Structure 1
Amino acid sequence: MPTATAPSAYPPPIEALMPQARALAERLGETPSRNTLMKEFRIGAPKARTVLDALAAEATTVPPAEPEPPAPRPLHLVPDLEPDAEPTEPTAPVEPPAPAEAPEAEPLATGDGHPGVNITAEPERIPHVPAPRTARKPRSWPVALLALPAFVAIWSGWVGLGELTGFGVVHPLPGILDAFSLNTAITLPIGVETYAAYALAVWLTGTAPVAARSFARWSAIGSLIFGGLGQVAYHLLTAAGITHAPWWITTAVACLPVAVLGMGAALAHLIHANHE
């Protein structure tokens, strides 16, 4: 058992106790407890705690790593420049020493605390990124619903205006099929409105050549304006009780089939000519 130090009237300072505390720790093989320090050095609890903290701090201090020695430079032969010197046998080149092998890493401990089995790292999981949603195209059936009442009004207006300007029932196949008759007034809504829709499609889709799109834009706007004026003229003449349209209205309406045919042929020619 360690011998107790004789009590002193003046307790020694911390600097004087540290060498004795280190010697006591080496003798015991472990860090002494607070009660052991108090009993061994006849000191109070606060000073024993201070000495114990200092021993713990010294134990956790890591000594600085020694710098690695520089690698030896390989030797090489220097030829003799004297002309009268006798030739000597060639000396084998001195090979540099092989680099020291790195120490093998200690085996990692497994989950149950036994070494010898390396733990395989879990592969990094790539977060799943959902594919972007494509925007839905708007439905086209509302256009048909909107066009139905407009078709009825436009059809009746053009047919009525055609009858006021001299369009009427004809027999296109005389002597062949006398019973077959046709009201030529239907050529107005079919020609004007169909060409306006066709020119709008060529203009707005953007797939046609530049010249075709430019012609389609201006002709579509002109057809829609002329169609609106035709509807206004029919309703004004009907409201006024006029049964025959004035000559200038009759002239304009009579030229419509020819104008529609010319614009349609020109637009189709511009589209196909540029594509070829």
Structure 2
Amino acid sequence: MTAPTINGTRYPQPIEHLLPAARALDLPDGEAFPSRNRLMREFRIGAPKAGELLALLKTEPAAPPADTTEPTTTDPAAPEPAPPVELDPTPEPEITTPEPVEQVAPVSRPDTPPAPAPARSAVVWPVVLLALPAFVAIWSGWVGLGGLTGFGIVHPLPGIWDSLSINSAITLPIGVETYGAYALYVWLSGRVPAPALRFAKWSALGSLVVGALGQVAYHLLVAAGITSAPWWITTAVACLPVAVLGMGAALAHLVRTHD
């Protein structure tokens, strides 16, 4: 039901004008009065005014309906009512469809400021120049550390393709650094659910820290002339491919979850 208005406006309306409309609201079965929230929603008034209106509804009884029943007693001296006169049906007025009005395009005023030009996005090609030397250093560092921790040439398809050989040390830069870059992109994009955003943030920072520690460990071992890494470095490096697989699968699941 549309709330009553004063002079066709939506300015604050007196309580006495809203009281009849509040009494006329349709109520569900078992409710004697509308709730304060419904009064606020129906008449677009604040909580204090809705509470005052509800108090008036509970204190002032509604006006009794007018008695529209005809009297059962008849006066014998009263004249009999005249029979109804049938009127000729009036012809229905002819409905004419108005002609469509041609719409005129609005003319801009001379003092109207022009629309701002769309902002140009920043170029990203300099990132390629920055990434090339970093890629060379990171790749050589991880492959060298892999060689010091037991990674080396393996034959992934024995009996099927015996001549195929891969240096397993390349799994370190591909796994750790690729996941770090992807998690950083997911975090900064902000277009994923909140759980995925938090996981991408902390896992990206963790991957970058692990990558930096791997480079530091390799250069310290080489500078010290050590040809075989200590057991605790070998243990940490050997767990990296498994950790990257688990974090990548978890992030892919969280990105596609919209609950």
Change (3 A) 1:163 1:127: same
| Equivalent residue pairs, number | 153
- Alignment pair present for 1:225 and 2:175: no
CA distance in 1: counterparts of 2:113 and 2:248, whole angstroms: 51
Letter of the 2:238 counterpart: A
Name the larger-Rg structure: 1
* CA gap 1:126/1:186 in 2 versus in 1, 3 angstroms: same
- Aligned match for 2:194, one of 202, 207, 210: 210
- TM-score, normalised with respect to structure 1: 0.54
Quote how far apart the aligned CAs of 1:126 are. 2.7
* Aligned equivalent of 1:186, options 170, 180, 184: 170
Partners of 2:132 and 2:238 lie apart in 1 by 26
Provide the residue aligned with 2:118 in structure 1: 134
Match of 2:257 in 1: 273
- CA offsets, 1:85-112, max 9 Å, x none? xxxxxxxxxxxxxxxxxxxxxxxxxxxx
CA distance in 1, matches of 2:221, 2:250: 33
For residue 253 of structure 1, what is the aligned residue in structure 2?
A: 237
The CA deviation at 1:265 is 0.3
Query: Secondary structure at the residue paired with 2:257?
Result: helix
Are positions 1:176 and 2:160 aligned together? yes
Provide the C-alpha distance between the structure 2 equivalents of 1:205 and 1:137, rounded to a whole number of angstroms.
15
* Contact persistence 2:175–2:244 (CA under 8 A): yes
Which structure 2 residue ranges, 5 or more long, are not aligned? 1-106
Structure 1, unaligned stretches of length 5 or more?
A: 1-122
State the superposition RMSD in angstroms: 1.7
Q: What's the CA shift for 1:124?
A: 10
> C-alpha distance in 2, partners of 1:206/1:145?
26
Quick one: percent identity of the two aligned structures?
Answer: 73
User: What SS does the aligned partner of 1:198 have?
Assistant: helix
For 1:132, give the aligned amino acid. Answer: P
Q: Does 1:155 align with 2:127?
A: no
Cα displacement (A) at 1:134: 2.1
- Structure 1 residues 197 and 125, CA gap change in structure 2 (3 angstroms): closer
Q: Normalising to structure 2: TM-score of the pair?
A: 0.57
CA distance in 2, matches of 1:204, 1:125: 42
Which portions of structure 1, spanning 4 or more consecutive aligned residues, are displaced by more than 2 angstroms?
A: 123-131
Q: Which aligned pairs between 1:76-91 and structure 2 lie closer than 5 A?
A: none
Classify 1:255/1:124 alpha carbon distance in 2 versus 1 (closer, same or farther; 3 Å).
closer
Say whether 1:239 aligns with 2:223.
yes
Structure 1 168/129 Cα, relative in aligned 2: closer, same or farther at 3 Å?
same
Map 1:96-111 to 2 at 5 A.
none
Distance 1:247 1:127, change over 3 A: same
Q: Deviation per CA, 1:24-80, whole angstroms, max 9, x where unpaired?
A: xxxxxxxxxxxxxxxxxxxxxxxxxxxxxxxxxxxxxxxxxxxxxxxxxxxxxxxxx
Match of 1:195 among 168, 174, 179: 179
Cα distance per residue 1:224-263 (max 9 Å; x no partner): 0010000000000001110000000000000000000000
Query: Structure 1 residue 264 and structure 2 residue 248: aligned?
Result: yes
Inter-partner Cα distance in structure 2 for 1:190 and 1:127: 59
SS in 1 for 2:188: helix
